[in-house]
Amino acid sequence: MSTPATPAVVLVGPPGSGKSTVGRVLAERLGLPFRDTDADVEQAAGKPIPEIFVDEGEPHFRQLEREAVRAAATGYAGVLALGGGAVMAEETRALLAPLPVVFLEVALGDAVKRVGLDAPRPLLAVNPRARWRELMEARRPLYLEVATAVVDTEGRTPEQVADAALEAL
Ligand code: S3P
């Protein structure tokens, strides 16, 4: 039996850390495909994430997210970006343990700038700055737990972050 495919790089970090943008650059650099668990979840549910939160609630979203991570972590050989809250699941952290995982560090100001221009996030719908801070405080130890490398995104372009990630791995 052949060994199952596993991701070449996994990107974790809070909303607004640039996981998808940096992931696409990394994928191009490595000549590999790019995949994002948020997109996998939306495809599985047949609707955008904010609608999953409204119609079925966050626990259902988290279940779909765990399934998306499991499928990608055990059967996909490209670059993988995880939704910002995916590391909250113990099963996900265990699946990430043997993989090269880069934590993209970002300061609140930069994250809010990016998030404000990007897709809507249900968890940041009200009081985004305070919520982001709360989420980051709770999750930072989990990002650090799964990370094999930490890359600071402050003042760096996605290309520079991708290069730093490749160097750090
Ligand atoms: C979430 C982050 C989002 C998305 C969902 C929940 C979170 O992904 O998975 O809205 O819990 O922080 P991004 O980190 O790509 O924004």
- Which residues face 1 on adjacent strands? none
Q: Is it the case that residue 120 has pLDDT exceeding 80?
A: no
- pLDDT of 1 reads 55
What amino acid is encoded at 117 in this protein? L
CA-derived radius of gyration, the chain? 15
Q: Among 60, 72, 78, 85, which residue's Cα sits nearest to residue 146?
A: 85
ipTM, 2 dp = 0.98
For domain 9-168, the question of CATH label 3.40.50.300 is answered with: yes
pLDDT tens figures, 37-64: 999 999 999 999 999 999 999 999 999 9
Residues tagged in the binding site annotation for substrate: 38, 62, 84, 139
Which pTM was predicted? 0.96
Higher pLDDT residue, 142 or 112?
142
Higher pLDDT residue, 124 or 61?
61
Instruction: Please identify, by atom number, the ligand 1 atom nearest to the C-alpha of residue 16.
Output: 16
Ligand 1 contact via 121 beta carbon (within 6 Å): yes
